[in-house]
Structures are given as C-alpha cells and as structure tokens.
Amino acid sequence: MAERSSRLNTLLRRVVIGVNVLALMVPVTLSAQAPRPWTPPLTAWGDPDLTGRWPLTHLNGTPVQRPAEFGDRRVLTDSEFAKRQADIAANRIRLAGAWAEVGEANRLTSLVVEPANGRLPPLTDEGRRRAATMTSSWSDMLFTSVTDFNALDRCMTRGMPASMFPFMYSSGVEILQAPGFVVIRFEMIHETRVIPLDGRPRPGSAIRFWLGEPRGRWEGRTLVVETTNFNGRTPMLIVGPGGGGIPTSDRLRVVERFTRVDDNTIDYEMTVEDPVVLTAPWRAAFPLKLDSTYYLFEYACHEGNQAVGNALRNSRHLERQSHP
C-alpha cells in the first residue's frame, strides 16, 4: 500500500511539473508567431487610401541614370552608401541657406531600373534631331526670343514624366482622393493632375495637353494610371550638365503604378515609351515616403519670374558690347 502511494505521489509531481513547463512555454510560443499582416488603409468609399504628402527629397542625390561602374546592380554596398551619406552631408553644409532640399541618403544606384543597366535607351534619329534644337536658360548662348527657353523656364510646366522625379527644391507631391478621382498636386509650378477613375473615354487625338490626359483604374490595391494625349513640347527629363534634355513627341505614353506597402511607403513605378524619340521604352522605380510635416508652399513662379527678361536684356547688352 505504501509503495502504491509513493508511485502516485511521484506521478502527481511529474504532472504538476509538466503543467508548469507548458505554462512557461506558452508566452514563448505565442511571441514567436508571425506578426499580423499589415492591412492597407481604405478611403471612406472603399478605395485604397493613397492620400497624404509624399515629398521626393529623400531621393535627392540619387542619379536618374546609373553610373557605369555599378553595372546592373540596383543597390549600393555599405561602403558606397557611406560615401553617399558623406556627400549629402557635405552638400547640406555647402548649400546651407540656399533653396536646396538636400534630403537624406538612400541605397538606390539609380531611379531608372530598365534597361537592366539603369541607363536611358538611345534616341532615334528624330530624337537626336529634336534634342539638338532644345535650349533653356542653362544653354550657353545669346537668347533672341522667349521660345529659346523651355516650359520650366517660362513657369508653364515641368512636363511628364519629369514632374514625378525629384528636384533640388520644391519637390513636394500631394495625393488627394474623392469618389471616382485621384488628384496629384505638385509644389513646383503649382500644377495639378486630375485622374478620373470612371472609365470615361479620352478626348480625340487633336486635343493635346502639357501634362497629357490621364486615366486611372484599380488593379487590386494598385492604382494604375495611363497618360496619353501629350503635346510633345516639354522635355521628358533634364539630364546632364547645361540643362540638356530628352525630348518628347505627341506619341509619348506614360503608365504609372502606385502601391501602398506600409503606413509610410508607396512603391511607385513608371514605364515610359515614345517611339518617335526613343529606340525602346524605359522604366523607373522608387519609393514615395509619407511626411505629414512637409508643407507645400505657394510656387508663385510667374509673379516672381525675372529670369527670361533678364536673360534677353543681357543678351542684347552683350551684342552691343561686341558691336559698339
């Protein structure tokens, strides 16, 4: 009898110990579970919510085209990133008090991701001809007419896709939404793109716009915007010293994709094709970062624009100096 009682006590102790061990293990097991999936925010009418201010300052210092030494690599190494951080810190000191928005360093080797080398495709013969005629306030020349200045010089537009790329100042982008519409507002030039989502037909090919005519649709939680009907009178991008640019034609087509991937990030992509000036399409991809503290100031460009008049007057002065 005593032996049976001893065995029973031993069994009970083992059960109690086992229960205590399991109790200790439960929090560990729960804490090791995968985090709950992120739930994308929705507007009051059920569309994915992209609203907010998404300045592009964090992309300053990232080249549009990839330097050749990086090859097909899209991300900087630790040492390369440290160098970019040092360069941006030096620029912050050098440009202190200026208009420049220096921003923060990132690891992208370029904004262009296709072709794989991150370089814009070659121009067609017509593209090279048009590029040779492009002039701006950065051109080393005597100016004879306002048409010597591009649309940005004249406070008309940066054009597309340039307006969706960072600039050294006024890189603010704000996205607003209403039922059936997405609106993208730019600080620079103070332009606004109104993107209908209701499937309405485009205007006829005879009607052309500086920023094109966009149409949007939702593919899951991704906003896809296809823009056509450009007037072909703006640079596609300004690249290289001296304000040289990539021209456009009225056959320019831009397809953008906006996908919100967390509370503070939109994955943004654009594919650009223009068979008149480009031998192949190209694609750019970079993150948009939410910054509710960023304020879009009034861009009173026309009201304060003295550059065009001053450049023309200075050109006449230089002519008189050379022909007294």
- pLDDT tens digits, one per residue of 79-116: 999 999 999 999 889 988 887 888 888 999 999 999 99
**Amino acid identity at 203:** P
| Within a domain: 63 | yes
Closest to 120 measured CA to CA, from 111, 108, 128, 130: 111
- pLDDT exceeds 60 at position 20: no
| pLDDT band, residue 1 (cuts 50/70/90) | very low
| Within a domain: 145 | yes
Burial string for 258-290 (b: 16+ CB within 10 Å, else e) reads bbbeeeeebebbbbbbbebbbeeebbbbbbbbb
Structure tokens at 3: 């032996």
- pLDDT exceeds 90 at position 182: yes
Cβ atoms of 152 and 189 within 8 Å: the answer is yes
Structure tokens at 43: 């507007």
| Within a domain: 283 | yes
- pLDDT exceeds 60 at position 276: yes
Residue that is written with structure tokens 């080797």 in the block: 109
- Using CA atoms, how far residue 236 sits from 120, 126, 272, in Å, is 11, 15, 9
Please count the structural domains in the chain.
1
Contacts of 322 (CB under 8 A, 6+ apart): none
Tell me how far apart the alpha carbons of residues 197 and 174 are, in angstroms, rounded to a whole number: 18
| Within a domain: 150 | yes
Structure tokens at 282: 């190209």
| Within a domain: 15 | no
Contacts of 161 (CB under 8 A, 6+ apart): 236, 237, 254, 270, 272, 284
The pTM is what?
0.85
| Within a domain: 128 | yes
Contacts of 221 (CB under 8 A, 6+ apart): 40, 48, 259, 260
Min mean pLDDT across 143-147, 167-171, 259-263 is at: 167-171
Structural domain boundaries, residue 116: 52-315
| Within a domain: 321 | no
| Within a domain: 123 | yes
Tell me how far apart the alpha carbons of residues 88 and 107 are, in angstroms, rounded to a whole number: 13
